Chain A
């Protein structure tokens, strides 16, 4: 198990900057996720950690040892590829045994370890099949077994669940998390699915246009987004646009239908008159006055949808629609008005930025 460090790592493919000045420390035993829209450089960054791609600039360290130009086969990492990359001419057991064979592990030990790891991923008895005789989920497990068997220092997973159906995806991600916890292995995970990232990770790095925009635990990123891109990329929420009217203990923003007070979680400060965004999460709306300082908005019910624990209600404030989680125990009639209360402590205000 090792700690991974990236210092000022940049990777260019001709004109394209796939990874841009990445600085990161991934701790020993941590489940660390790169999250970002497709094409933002997640895979490239991971491939540089695996030694399948080499930085144009910057350094990669394993436990303070410089591995920047060490080829992949000397790094003892295990990478699961997005397409699984199973070898079609080898049986499952041969695929899994390969990493041990090239390490010259004795035959009996190989057989033993292959069997054990197939058991771990729930594939015992499947060793004699060929990859094309397996379902997508099973192939995924073989790919995982194939890297786990070598007891890698770092487990690298590139969108491992993207080819599975929704139900299997949730199942497999829990299994991966379980296995990782059991083995305590430093794990680096790549996904573009924010829910998956939140569910599985100890820490998340959000990447966009090659740059790392924020690193933190799922809670930190959800509750204290550094900028508007992060706030809109993670979780559900509503966005109201306005201008800063005053700066005090709280920041006040005039959104046209009233003034909201909250605080700036971003890494850029706000001045009076600045263009700003108010970010409101669905679970932070209440229908009664609160004991703590709060904002109030008058809304018009557009529609509601009962989903069990809460009822999702879409309300219209001015000409903006917001989604709120409302208590399930009552009726919400379209067209009626609804007053909503939001704690000031949960009202996030961020400098405006253009999103694409």
Chain B
């Protein structure tokens, strides 16, 4: 149990009202400044300009609708959803296994495993992507692993590996809360290792797994380096971020900046929803464990 503050006199002081007002004004300004690009993006995605002028003149849903109607745009969205979805499954399976082994099993080499699972954080996405390209287009030339044939598998693999440390850490944090005696008492009462895992350990860390999955999904959806490098190698395989980059560079066929903005709005919505869900789950969990 954590203690919430000691017996000492509190060291916080209530500021004067005008100081408070100053703080609020300052913070709001700061947040507005930081949110400027997002605000701009939303405006861009939902309005039209008259021929000249600084401010938008009419509200429109036409660009947001493109996400569903324009087949190129819809394709990119669906591709990203698919890659990220598969990547999340891989991340969870691999990440959870690594976390479990590192935390609960005494096998030689688990320190190396832990390090290996963390290293991807330190590898720039662009080197990973170029490395993939050079290696797979040469060694696996002409196969499904050749990005020139189909970049999908490599994109999925890049997403999974780059975000693996996050799921591993998240699940690992959950496992650390599962005391060894909780598993031992299960085995003592007649349950083998796998029953113990599925009935005792898994339910206790499931919220951490979901959290790891959400994080992984959000990151994958907005992954840039590998997507931009490999994503364009086949037209029908492009992910969202590649599509956006093409618009930014003015190279996309459907070339309206507003459609790019609409895609960004979609990504922001995914992130905000994901964060809300993840917060909600963690809150549920702590109330139910009484921590």
Binding site for B on A (CB under 8 A): 50-52, 71-73, 75-79, 81, 83, 85, 87-89, 98-99, 102-103, 130, 132, 146-147, 150
Contact = CB atoms under 8 A, between A and B. Distances in A.
Interface string B183-205: 01111111110010001100110
A89 B188 contact: no
B181 A81 contact: yes
Given A88-B290, A89-B203, A89-B204, A73 B191 contact: yes
A102 B181 contact: no
Contacts of B199: 98
A51 B185 CA distance: 11
B186 A98 contact: yes
A81 B185 contact: yes
A147 B193 CA distance: 18
B19 interface: no
A99 B189 contact: yes
Task: Name B's interface SS.
Answer: helix
Given A81-B181, A89-B204, A102-B195, A132 B187 contact: no
A85 B203 CA distance: 15
A109 to B, nearest CB: 15
Contacts of A78: 188-189
B189 A146 contact: yes
Interface string B131-165: 00000000000000000000000000000000000
A79 B182 contact: no
Contact of A103 (B179, B181, B190): B190
Task: Name A's interface SS.
Answer: loop
B131 to A, nearest CB: 42
B287 to A, nearest CB: 10
A264 B192 CA distance: 52
Contacts of A89: 203-204, 288-289
A52 B187 contact: yes
A73 B185 CA distance: 9
B202 to A, nearest CB: 10
A50 B188 CA distance: 7
A85 B190 contact: no
A140 B80 CA distance: 52
Nearest to A81: B181
Nearest to A77: B188
28 contacts: A52-B184, A71-B187, A72-B187, A73-B188, A73-B190, A73-B191, A73-B192, A78-B188, A79-B184, A79-B188, A81-B184, A83-B179, A85-B179, A85-B185, A87-B186, A88-B288, A89-B288, A98-B189, A98-B191, A98-B199, A99-B190, A102-B189, A102-B190, A102-B191, A130-B288, A146-B189, A150-B189, A150-B190
Nearest to A47: B184
Contacts of A130: 288, 290
B289 A72 contact: no
Nearest to B182: A85
Most chain A CB within 10 A, of B181, B186, B190, B290, is at B190
Contacts of B179: 83, 85
A83 B190 contact: no
A191 to B, nearest CB: 18
Contacts of A132: 289-290
Interface in B236-289: 288-289
Given A51-B188, A85-B182, A150-B189, 10 more contacts: A52-B184, A72-B188, A79-B188, A85-B179, A87-B185, A87-B204, A89-B289, A102-B190, A132-B289, A147-B189
A88 B204 CA distance: 8
A75 B204 CA distance: 26
Contacts of B204: 87-89
Nearest to A89: B203
Contacts of B289: 88-89, 132
Most chain A CB within 10 A, of B184, B188, B192, is at B188
A85 B181 contact: yes
A147 B189 CA distance: 7
B191 to A, nearest CB: 4
